[in-house]
Amino acid sequence: MARYRFEEEEHTMFRKSLRKFLEKEAVPQYEQWEKDRLIPKSFWRQLGDMGFLCPQVEEQYGGLGLDFRYGVIIGEEMERVGASLTGVGLHNDITVPYIEAYGTERQKQDWLPGCISGEYITAIAMTEPGAGSDLANISATAVKDGDHYIVNGQKTFITNGINSTHVLVVVKTDLKAEPKHKGISLLMVEEGTPGFTKGRKLDKVGLHAQDTSELYFEDCKVPAANLVGEENKGFTYLMEKLQQERLVVALAAQIASEDMLEMTMDYVKSRKAFGKPISAFQNTQFKLVEMATEIELGKAFLESLIEEHMAGKDVVSKVSMAKYWLTETAKKISGECMQLHGGYGYMEEYKIARRYRDIPVAAIYAGSNEIMKTIIAKRMGL
């Protein structure tokens, strides 16, 4: 059952345990969660009870002190169930690492145990109605006032926005900074803080069970003690941590592609046309062979990339390549697989229809694929 050469026996056992848990607690409920447009908080607490939230956190804060390989396994198994579970990966591998890396001792003691138990659910608020990939031009402000910051602004497309209890908000703390990115800081805003309100749950084309929302800050009074890291160093922190976020997105796209190929193989073998299975037609065979080849190439690239990332190597270019190429590949495969399902592929009861609508956004979030190409080009000296 081990997927990668770096997986050891304990990783394989962890994967089996997680898959068994998800088959019992997530797979039967997933369709209802999609209809409800929300994953219940009770599921988060179940994940916490089982040790599937933030296993990398040090034991002194209630974690298991495990390496990133466990995060890879959790991300992959969640994606296998459905893309709407992406918020778990965002919590485990994207938001919580900011607390681990840049938080004070008090912040770690106050926040990490709840993040591990599922009592706390985190989100990271970067995107605004007028600023997405161009993070330096955010307009949300945090003005120091004694031992508080007064936060004003709006965020949108925030993953875990509705369920979140702790939101890491990207704000401008120095409005006169030149260049602009030198005036950005990270503030943890807790649910219930006066002046902080959650807007509507956004109605998306896909990822229906994943709660995405707008967030509003109106003279929101946040304790200065909730500043994560140093003031005006936020952009640097974001650049350091965005690599893992993009790797997590690439991993999910790879699993989605594998899942689509598997379900399509099953379908074409059972579906008949002109007296023989669709799988017997050369066109079908060639399409499936092409997809299988791209999937194998993607998996091999990811395997080496995970190892380099864990070794602390500079993987900015390769992560950008993986994020853009694997998400574009998944988009292409979703169209091919839907076509091979014929009319049934367009029906909601077939999982391929859900994959088809869930996948495109992966080419947009965590930095659009156009931004990925810009990063690569810059690092190539172009």
Where in the sequence numbering do the catalytic residues fall?
Answer: 245
Q: What is the pLDDT along the chain (382 residues), one digit of tens a residue?
A: 678 888 899 999 999 999 999 999 999 999 999 999 999 999 999 999 999 999 999 999 999 999 999 999 999 999 999 999 999 999 999 999 999 999 999 999 999 999 999 999 999 999 999 887 788 889 999 999 999 999 999 999 999 999 999 999 999 999 999 999 999 999 999 999 999 999 989 999 999 999 999 999 999 999 999 999 999 999 999 999 999 999 999 999 999 999 999 999 999 999 999 999 999 999 999 999 999 999 999 999 999 999 999 999 999 999 999 999 999 999 999 999 999 999 999 999 899 999 999 999 999 999 999 999 999 999 999 9
Which domains, ranges and CATH numbers included, belong to the chain? 9-120 (1.10.540.10), 124-230 (2.40.110.10), 236-379 (1.20.140.10)
Residue 313 token pair = 């190597």
- What is the DSSP code string of 60-128? GGT-----HHHHHHHHHHHHHH-GGGHHHHIIIIIIHHHHHHH--HHHHHHHHHHHHHTSS-EEEE--B
- In whole angstroms, give the CA distance from residue 160 to residue 118: 13
CB atoms within 10 A of CB 236: 15
- In whole angstroms, give the CA distance from residue 212 to residue 202: 6
- Per-residue pLDDT tens digits for 340-371: 999 999 999 899 999 999 999 999 999 999 99
- In whole angstroms, give the CA distance from residue 330 to residue 7: 24
- Cis peptide leading into residue 179 (ω within 30°): yes
Read off the DSSP letter of residue 279: G
Cβ atoms of 189 and 237 closer than 8 Å: no
- In whole angstroms, give the CA distance from residue 88 to residue 122: 9
**Hey, which bits of 160-234 come out as E strands?**
166-172, 184-190, 196-201, 212-223, 227-228
Nearest to 295 by CA among 231, 338, 250, 236: 250
- Per-residue pLDDT tens digits for 134-178: 888 899 999 999 999 999 999 999 999 999 999 999 999 999 999
Nearest to 140 by CA among 96, 91, 179, 187: 187
Residue 162 token pair = 């509705």
Model pTM above 0.85? yes
What is the chain's Cα-based Rg?
Answer: 21
Residue 124 token pair = 């990271």
**Hey, which bits of 224-365 come out as E strands?**
227-228, 272-273, 276-277
